[in-house]
Amino acid sequence: MDAFFLRRGAQRLFCVLRSPSDPETCRGAILHVPALAEEMNKSRRATAQAARALAEAGWVVLTVDLTGTGDSSGDFGDAQWSDWVEDVRTAWRWLAERTGAVPVLWGLRGGCLLIDDALRDLPCERVLYWQPGLSGDIVLTQFLRLRTAAGATKGNGAKETPKMLVAALEGGETIEVAGYRLAPGLALPLRDARLGAADGMAAYAGRHVDWIEVSATDPLALLPAGEARIAALRQAGATVEARCVEGVGFWLTQEIDEAPGLVAATVAALETLTPALSRLRGRGGGAALWHTGHMERDGDGERVGCEIAPGVREQPVRFSCGEDALLGVAAVPPDAQSVGVLIVVGGPQTRAGSHRMFVLLARALARQGVAAFRFDCRGMGDSSGAMRSFEDIEDDIACASAAFRAAVPEVDRVVLWGLCDAASAILMGIARWGDVAGVVLANPWARSEESHNRTIVRHYYADRLRQREFWVKLLTGGLPVGRVAREFAARLAGSAGSGRSRNPAVAARAHFRDRMRAGWQAFGGNRLLILSGQDLTAREFEDHAGADPGWSFSRPDTVVCRLPDADHTFSATADYDAVIAATSRFVASLVGGTRT
């Protein structure tokens, strides 16, 4: 695995390249176009597993982050649909030139719509569609519902609908959805995109399409809408191999899911590629591919990354943890301070974070002279290995810290920054690391069965009872009274207890809160605690810590930052700006020796 930035005009596209270990066995090349927005984050492990399997089967696989997404340059809110289509074309042509192959285009969900658009100007002979989005209108509506659902949860009286948000976009307004700024130049062309639209159907003539869907039904069956589109493609002259495999919608599940059946079906499908299509024409492929091309490099030919601001660059860092290969990205200012920030990723997230929050945090710190490093733990994102619980990532953090200081020698002490269970992991392992100047703990995870039920009763139900909308729905029949009463009673009954679960399997894990408290008490450095007012995870932590004398927020080395309107990931711009500002002040106090 290698990573680099590919130039496209003023933009720099972050790419991950996986190649066969033996260049002589190389069968051809594949370009992966990811799903859009949060679906890209949720699906990264599954697509990385597929890319590794394809590389083992002899393929050179390039995964590209589109402009304003993942680790690429630019902002999501400034991206245009035409930019993304050109990103696909640029990456395809680069891969074709460097391998001498005719790369297969492989898309997931909304990425298939981009391929459909880019295909009209590319001499691509084979396309691989994973669970293709057939209509951009549906993809856009699903994304906009992240905002309408959040408004309904807050009970703020907002009656926004996806249709209203589209109208705002049509009026030229840029809107905010789940932490992403969405501009008309991206949203409206996406809405109008159709896979195999009438004016683009001719582009499929003579091409081969592998169409693979996942399903949890018995028997397995393709979606009816997909079958209709497949028939239209065949009528237009395409050869379509369609199949359905057992699996779940890993691109939208709450936790990270894998897709072994989909991966196996993909490798098998491409085994049928004819020699005429898989032949490398004139150039050798394989592991040395990254040494050529439009990669950012210094005068000595080494990869130095992407300039994100005058003098500030980002560089990919590949490092090891045990037998596994991990991928990180360092944001490096020209004169880095001695204290850097190591961002630990927890939960179902990659090094980019929800709505790219870790990318934006690292870049903001680097612009202020503070080097930052973010990475995928083993089994997450692009890093190899088995997935691990947050209780078992201490080695990952230690290896990442060493890789950070090797990449940025000016850094001799680090601030560990963690959200949710990453904050918990930091506290549990803090005694192991001697180079930690401070910790930033955002909405730490301290869940048990009983404490979670208490939090729901004390905060969620209490808040709902104060909302006019709740009573209107209840009195007009908009809520099932019996079901609501049963749920409340179950939560109330489950809230009694010491916080130790009655479920033996859960109880065995509950001691992680004791380890967190021990780390909090033993750590001799400074700490910044950031708590969101609209987050049940933060409230559960506060309730737990407030009832335990072993926790104390009034220590002289502790700063508490409360953001009353913030959600769990600080998705509102004002809240995220406040997190960046609080982190910057905290790090500056450590460098300058003053308390924030």
Which of 243-247, 395-399, 443-447, 499-503 is predicted least confidently? 499-503
Residue 509 confidence (pLDDT) above 70: no
pLDDT in the model for residue 23: 79
Rounded Cα distance, 131 and 139, in Å: 12
Class of domain 313-447+511-592: alpha beta
Question: What are 82-135's pLDDT values in tens digits?
Answer: 999 999 999 999 999 999 999 999 999 999 999 999 998 999 999 999 999 999
Question: What are 50-89's pLDDT values in tens digits?
Answer: 999 999 999 999 999 999 999 999 999 999 999 999 999 9
Rounded Cα distance, 471 and 542, in Å: 29
Q: b vs e for 330-355, b when ≥16 Cβ sit within 10 Å of the residue's Cβ?
A: bbbbeebbebbbbbbbbbbbbbbbbb
Architecture of domain 2-135+200-278: 3-Layer(aba) Sandwich (3.40)
In the DSSP assignment, the letter for residue 354 is: G
Q: How confident is the model at residue 157 (pLDDT cuts 50, 70, 90)?
A: low
pLDDT in the model for residue 18: 96
Q: How far is CA 582 from the centre of its chain?
A: 23
Whether the predicted model's global pTM rises above the 0.85 cut? yes
Q: Are 157 and 468 in contact (CB under 8 A)?
A: yes
Q: Are 153 and 49 in contact (CB under 8 A)?
A: no
Residues carrying CATH 3.40.50.1820, the chain: 2-135+200-278, 313-447+511-592
Residue 596 confidence (pLDDT) above 50: no
Question: What are 437-483's pLDDT values in tens digits?
Answer: 999 999 999 986 565 555 555 655 556 566 666 555 666 666 676 66
pLDDT in the model for residue 255: 85
Distance set, CA 433 to CA 63, 104, 339, 572 (Å): 34, 45, 15, 33
